[in-house]
Amino acid sequence: MKYIIIGGGISGLSIANLLNKENEVIVLEGDSRPGGMIKCDVIDGSLYHRTGGHVFNSKRKDVMDWFWSFFSKDEDFTKALRNSTVFMPDGNVIPYPIENHIHMLDKVNGEKIVKDLVQMAKDSDNEPNNFDEFLKGRFGKTLYDLYFQPYNYKVWRRDLTNVPLFWLTGKLPMPTVEEIIFNNLFHVDERSFVHSSFYYPQKGGSQFIVDSMAKGLNVICNSKVDNIKRNGAKWIVNNIECDRIVFCGNLKQIPALFDEHFNLSGYDKKIEELEFHGTTSVFCEIEENPYSWIYMPSREHESHRIICTGNFSINNNAPGKMTGTIEFTDYISKDDIIDNLQRIPLSPKYISHHYEKYSYPIQSTDTRKMIGDLKFDLEKNNIYLCGRAAEWEYYNMDAAMGAALDLYNNKLK
């Protein structure tokens, strides 16, 4: 079989590696280099994750085994414990998750939270209708006002009553009142969680993952695909004929890619209506600190988190510097970034920034059904979808690899 893989992000590189042994595989990547959202730059000797911070772990054994077939766990990677924290607007630093550290808040709020917990235990049968109700019901009004509302408002950039719960299925923390009380009494912190650790490349950050996985593949860069033609049972992509296509780009492009010989107009409107958020990742020099992620509910600025990428590997910082990435939801101009940085802790000094438009796909109630139907129609024609924006799923790297493994094992092997 001759395959064209459209998109050389982690999904495209994964499926290409799986297919490469027994097939002819060409990866067409629109950018000047593969990697998609996990690409990194080196700026003045410090490593910059252009989007997010990209650490690795997985609950799936097959994903772990396959991932480690590319790398030496001991020589190429470090294993670190998560050390996240919440910087409160009053300067108080509370370990994550905040609900397990009520004993570190001031007594006035502590007293209110205890009353909330007693009330929540009585109201435990109330079913939330949206994210706002979920947060109030699960953590109580006081923690909601102090942390959950202001933090999540910055993440979602909308009234939380307008965030339906199905957007967050499987991603919500669900501690019970009993667990919150127990975790506070016995000081259960993040390190006690399952998957409290992560792997991170010793050198090169996630760019090292890209470079290793692209080795031995035929990746053609600067090859944006904007039209796919049919030739009998074959497809022609950028003048290259193939038997099968795996599309790992953005679903939003799909309806416009095909000529009149393959009509997907039934899906146009539904795909156009799919919602998403973008991310602006601002690379900064910051003060030394011991954290991996810092969550910021302060209403004084618009950023919700600092990813202390400088702490992920000692090789990530130029000598004498400490760096990190400050995240904003959606687009923010350079002038607004510079203005916000003045009010963000750790005295950040701007180095660079990148805006990724489709970083967070948002699903509506019928998105999975619609994409399932679309996949069925495409697969009858030897076209497959694989990837975060291709399947409109909230995949992390490991889930993207898992999706590639499932596609290969169930349909392409």
Ligand X SMILES: Cc1cc2nc3c(=O)[nH]c(=O)nc-3n(C[C@H](O)[C@H](O)[C@H](O)COP(=O)(O)OP(=O)(O)OC[C@H]3O[C@@H](n4cnc5c(N)ncnc54)[C@H](O)[C@@H]3O)c2cc1C
Residues within the interface to ligand X (CB under 6 A) = 6-12, 28-31, 36-38, 51-56, 224-225, 248-250, 253, 279, 359, 387-389, 395-398, 400
The least distance separating ligand X from the CB of residue 279, rounded to whole angstroms, comes to 5
- For ligand X, give the closer residue by CB, 30 or 89: 30
Of 359, 166, 367, 390, whose CA–CA distance to 274 is shortest? 367
Fill in the amino acid letter for 404. Answer: A
- For ligand X, give the closer residue by CB, 356 or 373: 356
The least distance separating ligand X from the CB of residue 357, rounded to whole angstroms, comes to 10
The least distance separating ligand X from the CB of residue 154, rounded to whole angstroms, comes to 14
- For ligand X, give the closer residue by CB, 144 or 247: 247
The least distance separating ligand X from the CB of residue 246, rounded to whole angstroms, comes to 11
- For ligand X, give the closer residue by CB, 214 or 370: 214
The least distance separating ligand X from the CB of residue 319, rounded to whole angstroms, comes to 26
Q: Which residue has the tokens 């079913």?
A: 127
Q: 175: number of CA atoms within 13 Å, CB side?
A: 19
Q: Which residue has the tokens 């050390």?
A: 83
- For ligand X, give the closer residue by CB, 130 or 396: 396
Please tell me whether residue 182 adopts helix, strand or coil conformation. helix
The least distance separating ligand X from the CB of residue 36, rounded to whole angstroms, comes to 2
C-alpha span between 299 and 104 (Å, rounded): 21
Of 14, 23, 59, 43, whose CA–CA distance to 354 is shortest? 43
C-alpha span between 329 and 304 (Å, rounded): 8
Q: How far apart, in Å, are the Cα atoms of 360 and each of 18, 36, 202, 219, 273?
A: 26, 14, 27, 26, 14
C-alpha span between 177 and 123 (Å, rounded): 11
- For ligand X, give the closer residue by CB, 2 or 224: 224
